[in-house]
Amino acid sequence: MTDAEVLARIFRRCRREGGCLLWTGATTRGGYGNINHGGRYWRAPRLVETLTRGPIDPGQVVLHSCDRPACVEPSHLSRGTPGDNVRDAALKGRLGGWRDPNARSRSTLYRRRREAAGLPLDYTTLAQRRRA
């Protein structure tokens, strides 16, 4: 099967939404298209990037300018390092982890829930109350 035939097969499983070409077949938990090609499973954006622009170097990832994991529109895909991906996510406010200044830590959420329930905020206080 030629690259053009594989791309046609991929694009048949997509729908247009805005400027994106969204994969409608099987997806990973993260929402990326999942397709079997050449005896192995690929993320659809990575396969499209490989077929349209050639092999991807080890250590590189496929970035989405549209921030939609299901998008396989070739003009929305580019290559970069994992660091590029993290910087892009941080700049767009979608990191949601320890590097995100707007993210709430698990301990902060835990403290807020305990305060709302009128419970002690830490285990030391809890242990002291039980001893008394």
Reference 24, options 66, 65, 70, 93; nearest CA is: 70
58 and 113 both lie in a single domain: no
pLDDT tens column, 65-89: 998 999 999 999 999 999 898 888 8
pTM of the predicted protein model? 0.70
23 and 74 both lie in a single domain: yes
What's the confidence (pLDDT) of residue 119? 67
97 and 108 both lie in a single domain: no
Distances (CA, A) of 28 to 10, 45, 106, 110, 115: 16, 12, 25, 30, 37
Tell me if 51 sits within 8 A of 3, measured CB to CB: yes
pLDDT over 90 at 96, yes or no: no
